[in-house]
Structure 1
Amino acid sequence: MKLTPTVPGARLLGLGSAQPDKIVTNDDLAATMDTNDQWIRERVGIQERRVADEKTLLVDMAVEAGTRALKDAGLEPSDVDTVILATCTMPTPIPNGAAQVADRIGIRAPAAFDLNAACAGFCYGVGTAADLVRAGSSKNVLVIGAEKLSDWVDWTDRSTAIIFADGAGAAVVGPAADEASVGIGPVAWGSAGDLAPVIHIKDDNAKLFQEGQAVFRWATTKIAPVALRAIELAGLTPADIDVLVPHQANLRIIEAVAKKLRKEGAREDLRVADDIVHSGNTSSASIPLALDHMRADGRVRSGDTVLLVGFGAGLSYAGQVVIFP
């Protein structure tokens, strides 16, 4: 007996994103807490962020981003057989969000599950989707990173209120026709569970806590090696990377990672995502949001070699090289 042959690998087929309309500036926050625009820009690089109203659900944003990704991929809902929702801010643990999102988009009876790797969630989702496609378990996978962090932030706490925001980003992962068209490299991932207390929500009634300096020190020392490992697993060198899209946690972290990659051979013209400036930290949504916004600005183009690196609560991290669709 011969099992069904698998495909050579997977590739990205399309992208989509969604954000709330409401913009909260640094001056808006300064009116309610002890902070100011200069202080926020110097520490995290954020000028403004998007925040959803009370009626807008996380699932609403995920549906919008997922629908746009399908359209961008040129697929119908019936073409998708698996939905992965990367999120850490669902209002309740049951039911999961993925099945609700799939139903509202019109994807009938798919495999559907939520994935919680916090800010690394989208990269975990893309890695999982690529393996599902390569193994033959799925044909086309809709991967969505969506967060409504505003539900979990104490808006009087400047250590978190200045950083976090809401939004969703999505990608469709499908099969590569041959070895030459494989567009998603192996995932380099891991965790540091001993540092779990530095970002946490104590219980259902608690708000998000983050020990910012501890996270900053960890990210600026540990994430560049993960990025380099992802490049190595893809069989490439740092000089082959056109675009770097790290999790949009803090502009200083992003710049530190880019600097270290350039020291290891990345090109000076490496394009680096800085969506944090106008979108804030949207956790698992930040990487696909940044990618979609870079495309709209003409900073990433079809065929570009892109390095994705997610990291955050857990602590969890993951990265992979992809070819932009």
Structure 2
Amino acid sequence: MALIALRQSVGMPGARLAGVGSYLPTGSVGSAEIAARFGRTADWVRERTGIVSRRFACVGETVDDMAVAAGERALAHSGVDAADLDLVIVATCSLEVPIPGLAAGIAARLGAARAAAFDLNAACAGFCYALAVAADTVRSGSARTILVVGTEKMSALVDRADLGTSIIFGDGAGAAVVTASAEPGIGPIVWGSDGAAADLIHMPTGGRMAMAGQAVFRWATTEIHPIALQACERAGIRPGELAAIVPHQANLRIVEALAQKIGAPDAVVSRDVVECGNTSAASIPMALDRLLGEGLAAPEGLALLIGFGAGLTYAAQVVRLPARVPAPV
């Protein structure tokens, strides 16, 4: 069957995903352990979030340590040498210090010492935002090979005494290599923000993350699926042509609601949140790596990526999956 061509502006070169990678900390924390602090059970957590376990970074393990590990895996999958990277973009809301940013140090540790590098913070939509910036940078001719990383240490931001956030968030990193291509492999992004509702997810200076969970749930399940459908339309495809749907892994109820409203019954839906929790900007590339590595999505299939979160920010785009299968996560 002929591959479906993604739509893009006339005369622009293409950009594609050449490889993906992820890193999961070894510390797996079951829902029972966290729920017990609040007099709840693992079943109570699973019924409300779908989360069975999540990973927490080990003592001394940093956001950039996880990013480097995911980046190395993505480079290996793509067959790209780090020295050939023109740009490294790191999507994160887990900065431990404001200066310097993470990206330059990560580039140096990977062996891309001369690459341009910067951080981007759009919270849980950060990977989609960064991927769009990378694709547009390639199409403009300013770079040919870019590493995009989503990396988060959410366990450092969460208040252990707050039930609403403690049961949801986890740590991890995911990455993707974007390269120039003859054919388009990353469709146009549909993105935006609702800053009037920014207080729904926030972290005060010197404090811990706070989230109005029910309000965020209502927003995500009513406002985001039209954005996803617009992304399909702008890419020139129908939802039924999707091989995979990869939403930000906020919680399983939101993931399932979005997938149902998009209307692609044959597409595999990422449910990475069940075992990894909500890893913010890392969740989409982590899920992509698992879908490909476990053979749940075929190489070169079309995947709909949907990011949404604090800001409130949102974004969606259709991508063609890499042509090669990575090793299992």
- Settle same-fold status: TM greater than 0.5: yes
The answer to whether residue 303 in structure 2 is matched with residue 306 in structure 1 is yes
Match of 1:160 among 165, 169, 174: 165
The one-letter amino acid of 1:235's match is G
1:210, 1:157 → 2: CA distance? Answer: 10
The one-letter amino acid of 1:324's match is L
2:312, 2:35 → 1: CA distance? Answer: 30
Aligned to 1:3: none
Q: Gaps spanning 5+ residues in structure 2: where?
A: 1-10, 323-329
SS at match of 2:38: coil
The one-letter amino acid of 1:21's match is T
Aligned to 1:287: 284
Equivalent residues of 2:197, 2:311 under 8 A apart: yes
Q: CA RMSD in A?
A: 1.0
Q: Count the aligned residue pairs.
A: 312
Equivalent residues of 2:23, 2:173 under 8 A apart: yes
Can you list the C-alpha shifts for 1:172-226, whole angstroms capped at 9, x where unaligned?
001012xxx31100011000000100000011x2011000001000000011001
SS at match of 1:46: coil
Match of 1:24 among 25, 29, 38: 29
1:320, 1:184 → 2: CA distance? Answer: 7
1:7, 1:257 → 2: CA distance? Answer: 32
The one-letter amino acid of 1:192's match is D
The one-letter amino acid of 1:318's match is A
SS at match of 1:32: helix
Aligned to 1:70: 75
2:152, 2:141 → 1: CA distance? Answer: 29
CA shift, 1:31, in A, is 3.1
Q: State which drifts further: 34-43 or 311-320.
A: 34-43
Aligned to 1:220: 221
Can you list the C-alpha shifts for 1:96-139, whole angstroms capped at 9, x where unaligned?
00001001001022110000000000000110000000000111
Aligned to 1:97: 102
CA shift, 1:290, in A, is 0.7
Q: Gaps spanning 5+ residues in structure 1: where?
A: 1-5
Identity of matched residues, %: 52
1:250, 1:80 → 2: CA distance? Answer: 34
Moved over 3 A (4+): none
The one-letter amino acid of 2:130's match is G
Aligned to 2:293: 296
2:38, 2:292 → 1: CA distance? Answer: 35
Equivalent residues of 2:66, 2:172 under 8 A apart: yes
The one-letter amino acid of 2:196's match is D
1:23, 1:202 → 2: CA distance? Answer: 28
The one-letter amino acid of 2:299's match is S
Can you list the C-alpha shifts for 1:280-323, whole angstroms capped at 9, x where unaligned?
00000000001111112211111111000000000000110000
